[in-house]
Amino acid sequence: MPHLYDLDGMAHTASYKKAKAFSESDLDDPNNFTNISSHHKLVAYRDTGKATKGDDLNPSQEPLDPELVMISGGGRLHGSIAIGDGIIRCPLTLPEIKARQLSSCLEITRRPRPVDLAIEAALEKERLANQAALEKERLANQVALEKERLASQAALQVTLDERDQNTTRFIEEERSRNEAGQRALYELFVGLCYKSGQVPPPMPVFSSIGTNKSRAASHNPFPGVSPP
């Protein structure tokens, strides 16, 4: 036979036609209960008991402590105690229990009203919603920044590719102009050789002009041959 703590939990987690065994894990979510006040009473009893009797307290395995019910429930609200009203009795009033407590005992607090619990639950729900919205906004900003970074990186790569293409084209154009100039000089030199009765040398291998040194050497495209 379950103890009164579990019976109270079973009575407020489902209708009597769908009653199931009560587990302490049911306390993890207030939505498991038919009303938030019932959830709060059981949680308050458990937490107050652990604070006064030790963390190894398991309210499901021992009878309800009437004084602990009075302490966790804030006394008799409207003449009734928080858990097991009419089944268990406590001969002492809350002030009498409070006066008997040692200074190290947990301070007795007033039992929260259902409206206070509803407000607290609404505030917690709003806090979680705001937290989720902020996290969603943070992730969206992170995605936008990553897209912007990738776009900037792609634009930079396009600029670098265009620069490399322009440099390659400039070098090729300069090489073509240099070879054309050297051929023109050679043809002129060959014509002068024929006019003077000399045999022109073979056509030299034209070198590319890419440095100041090669440009200086281009003034004499036929090394070892003196012009007439």
Would 22 be classed as within a structural domain? yes
pLDDT for position 197 = 86
Q: Are 101 and 138 in a shared domain? A: no
B/e letters for 1-27, b = 16+ CB within 10 Å, e = fewer, are eeebbbbbbbebbeeeeeeeebeeebb
Cβ(72)–Cβ(49) below 8 Å: yes
Q: Are 53 and 133 in a shared domain? A: no
Rounded to whole angstroms, how far apart are CA atoms 95 and 76?
11
Q: Is the pLDDT of residue 121 over 80?
A: yes
Q: Are 150 and 184 in a shared domain? A: yes
Structural domain count, the chain: 2
Q: Are 64 and 125 in a shared domain? A: no
Q: How many CB atoms lie within 10 A of CB 187?
A: 12
At 214, the pLDDT band (50, 70, 90 cuts) reads: very low
Would 222 be classed as within a structural domain? no
Q: Is the pLDDT of residue 51 over 80?
A: yes
Domain that holds residue 14: 4-112
Q: Are 26 and 91 in a shared domain? A: yes
Angstrom distances, CA of residue 34 to CA of 5, 17, 76, 110, 195: 16, 14, 22, 22, 119
Would 90 be classed as within a structural domain? yes
Q: Are 105 and 124 in a shared domain? A: no
> Domain ends where: 112, 141, 156?
112
At 101, the pLDDT band (50, 70, 90 cuts) reads: low
Q: Are 70 and 126 in a shared domain? A: no
pLDDT for position 18 = 60
Would 144 be classed as within a structural domain? yes
pLDDT for position 217 = 44
Mean pLDDT rounded to a whole number for the chain: 78
Q: Are 98 and 158 in a shared domain? A: no
Would 171 be classed as within a structural domain? yes
Between 3 and 176, the higher pLDDT residue: 176
Would 226 be classed as within a structural domain? no
Q: Are 10 and 48 in a shared domain? A: yes
Would 227 be classed as within a structural domain? no
Whole-number percent of the chain with pLDDT over 90 = 24
Report CA 189 to chain centroid distance, whole Å: 77
Q: What tokens were used for 119?
A: 């407000």
Q: Are 140 and 200 in a shared domain? A: yes
> Domain ends where: 112, 144, 175?
112
Mean pLDDT (whole number) for 27-49:
82
Q: Are 201 and 135 in a shared domain? A: yes
> Domain ends where: 112, 139, 160?
112
Nearest residue to 52 via CA among 123, 96, 111, 101:
101
Rounded to whole angstroms, how far apart are CA atoms 92 and 66?
9
At 146, the pLDDT band (50, 70, 90 cuts) reads: very high
Would 178 be classed as within a structural domain? yes
Report CA 5 to chain centroid distance, whole Å: 41
Q: Are 100 and 133 in a shared domain? A: no
HSE, CB side, 13 Å, CA atoms: give it for residue 104: 3
Question: Any residues with CB less than 8 A from the CB of 144 and at least 6 apart, and which?
Answer: none
pLDDT for position 15 = 58
Q: What is the pTM of this model?
A: 0.41
Q: Is the pLDDT of residue 131 over 80?
A: yes
